[in-house]
Amino acid sequence: MRELALNVLDIAENSLRAGAKLVQITLSADFAADTMSIAIEDDGCGMSEEMLASVCDPFTTTRTTRKVGMGVPLFKYSAESAGGTFSIRSKIGEGTCVTATYKISHVDRMPLGDFGGVALQLVTMNPGTDFRIRVTDGPREGVLDTREVKEILGEDIPLGAPEVRAFLKEYIQENLVSIYGGRL
């Protein structure tokens, strides 16, 4: 993968396959400390201790369509090769949390990429799952919680409706620009 946003999409899709009803994605940057972290947490089915111990092996996958699973190993590699860390915790029946940290200025850190586009795609293409997407830089914070948006819209207007999608796209982009100003 050539950008971190695609890693986020891949891990979030794992959450969807795990039956998550809520997926929380947090992108935090601390430019003074030169660090960035990405966390994806879900309330899906979780993993056994055996699966958790082998999930970073590319030849471990629960998918039946192929024999390799590169998403988690690539996410881990992207963090560790850019001076960061990686962690994953999971419990059956409670869900999974994957966190990657990066040194922002590291020469091997992949660009963030189209994080806003990934957020928009996840939110509008998965009506049965709620998302809480949070971006921070110290005290500045932007949050998109689909539970709140759905409450305002009511049951008759889907998040994928063209007018809603256009609003969400603008809202996400405004938050990313005002918080990060193109620095990631």
Closest CA to 107 of 77, 82, 79: 82
Contact by Cβ (8 Å): 37, 28:
yes
Of 68-82, 96-110, 125-139, the poorest mean pLDDT is in 68-82
Sign for the pseudo-dihedral over CA of 148, 72, 115, 36: positive
Looking at per-residue pLDDT, the higher value among 139 and 28 belongs to 28
State the CATH architecture for 4-179: 2-Layer Sandwich (3.30)
Predicted confidence band at 62 (pLDDT cuts at 50, 70, 90)?
low
Looking at per-residue pLDDT, the higher value among 51 and 26 belongs to 26
Q: Which residues contact 51 (CB under 8 A, 6 or more apart)?
A: 60, 62, 90
Q: What is the mean pLDDT of residues 148-173?
A: 95
Has residue 64 got a pLDDT over 60? no
| pLDDT at position 152 | 94
Predicted confidence band at 51 (pLDDT cuts at 50, 70, 90)?
confident
Predicted confidence band at 66 (pLDDT cuts at 50, 70, 90)?
very low
| pLDDT at position 161 | 95
Q: How many CB atoms lie within 10 A of CB 170?
A: 12
